[in-house]
Amino acid sequence: MDIDERARKIFDAGVAAADPAAGVADAMGWAAADGPKRGGRWQVIALGKAALAMSAAALDALPEGTQALVVTNPENAEAAKMRAGLRLIAGDHPVPGAGSAEAGRAILETLRGLSPQDRVLALISGGGSALAVAPAGGLSLSDKAEVSRLLLGCGADITQMNLIRQQLSELKGGGWLAASAAPVTGLILSDVPGDDLRVIASGPTVAPIGTRAEAAELCRELGIWEALPEAVRAHLEQSGDAPALPEGRNRLIGANGISVAAMVAEGAQEGPFALEGDVAALAPRVVALLDTMAPGQALVFGGETTVTLRGDGLGGRNQELALRVACEAEAASVPGDWRFLSGGTDGRDGPTDAAGGLVGPGSCQAARDAGIDPKAALSRNDSYHALKAAGALLVTGATGTNVADLAVLVKG
């Protein structure tokens, strides 16, 4: 097995360990313990990039005729195999759009149509924050989309993003609990560091992370307050305590740490730090590890980084991290052979068809040979075209799961 194949095999083991269907199947005994009362029924609502696989496993375990509303990303929706009782909506990601608004309306209508005798099985996975939106009173879809664009470009981490998103939504931060007369049971696949249920898909079945006042202060700290739509600023400045929420039952069924453990089982070692912080600061730390590694050693990492947008190029956090590692290693004249792979477990990194990048000693020169200066590409956040020119894109297709990002560093 060559070094490229080894890096990919280790990454694929991590993705396979995040199988959402297996996680739901294992948890259905617990979930069904509090079933519908006399005259009631199950209602499945699945939201996120793993929604199709999760809903299929749930419907296999629930009574025939159970209804399911499934909201997922377009790539997974296009490959969906429909079945009786399933309603499928493709939302938009990473910036919410018309599909996201349709999904938000459908979720609220479904929840508001239930009785106390019914039971909701909520299947939540990453990506849900953008895939379904229901703007709070006075806000528009364009307001929500502009907030998403500002948050994606300012370097905010996922917890910060979702603290703010929750205060602008009827769905997020326990919105499903507030809308439903039926008790809600959640099975949740984590795509966030630390597996905080309030953060995953902006926490539709748990209490919010913070308050409007805290969201407003955070926007100021992030430097985006003045750029926010006027209606958003006015909404966040309104006073008043949030109403008490009914309690939901929630269970974590999969997480990034489980995938990292599976990668270690493929003969790697866990790296000394997580994938976190801005990629510009993280890349030199990754390159420095090569000096400490033995030939044949592989290190693996999990988490989620951030990117500060300074240009209008195409790419994602995994692609930019991979390209930055390649440039840093070239500048440091790192000897010998090595590979660095960074990819999203959902198969999509940013608004591109790639999951991330797989780079080595010759990647930057290959990009230059193809007419693209990799450093100039980084200055405009255009990692996609530089990696494509170098033949260094990681393309997996939609995976049907999402537990954040994984990376592999192999020394030849």
**222-246 pLDDT, tens digit each:** 999 999 999 999 999 997 767 789 9
- Whether residues 44 and 142 share a domain: the answer is yes
Residues 158 and 276 in one domain: no
Strands 249-254 and 184-189: parallel
Percent of the chain whose pLDDT exceeds 70: 100
Helix axes 383-390, 317-331, angle to 10 degrees: 60
> Domain ends where: 254, 281, 308?
254
The answer as to whether 14 is a domain residue is no
Amino acid at 120: V
Contact by Cβ (8 Å): 11, 341? yes
* Domain CATH code at residue 103: 3.40.50.10180
Confidence check: pLDDT of 403 > 90: yes
Are both 194 and 331 inside the same structural domain? Answer: no
Give the relative orientation of helices 256-264 and 3-16 as an angle to the nearest 10 degrees: 140
pLDDT tens-digit series, residues 239-278: 776 778 998 999 999 999 999 999 999 999 999 999 999 9
259 domain residue, yes or no: no
The answer to whether residues 166 and 293 belong to one domain is no
Mean pLDDT of 207-233: 96
Distance of CA 207 to the CA centre of its chain: 20
Alpha carbon separation from 159 to 19, 153, 241, 305, 316 (Å, rounded): 24, 15, 21, 12, 18
- The mean pLDDT value for 137-165 works out to 92
Do 163 and 88 belong to one domain? Answer: yes
What is the domain-level CATH number for residue 299? 3.40.1480.10
In a domain, 5, yes or no: no
What phi and psi values does residue 187 have, to the nearest 5 degrees? -110, 125
Q: For position 180, what pLDDT does the model report?
A: 97
- Rounded to the nearest 5 degrees, what angle is found at the Cα of 373, between the Cα atoms of 2 and 156? 85
* Average pLDDT, integer, range 136-164: 92
**Buried residues in 41-71 as b, exposed as e (16+ CB within 10 A):** bbbbbbbbbbbbbbbbbbbeebeeebbbbbb
pLDDT at 137: 86
Q: pLDDT higher for 138 or 179?
A: 179
Whether residues 45 and 187 share a domain: the answer is: yes
Full 3-state SS string of 349-375: CCCCCCCEEEECCCHHHHHHHCCCCHH
pTM of the entire predicted model? 0.82
Strand, coil or helix: 408: strand
Same domain, 58 and 97: yes
Give residue 372's pLDDT: 98
Considering the domain architecture, whether residues 250 and 272 belong to the same structural domain is answered as no
Q: Residue 102: what are its φ and ψ, rounded to 5°?
A: -60, -45
Answer whether 203's CB lies under 8 Å from 172's CB.
yes
Shared-domain flag, residues 214 and 95: yes
User: Residues 33, 182: one domain?
Assistant: yes
What pLDDT does residue 80 have?
Answer: 79
| Structural domain boundaries enclosing 293 | 268-411
Residue 187 forms part of a structural domain: yes
Mark whether 60 and 106 lie in a shared domain. Answer: yes
Domain count, the chain: 2
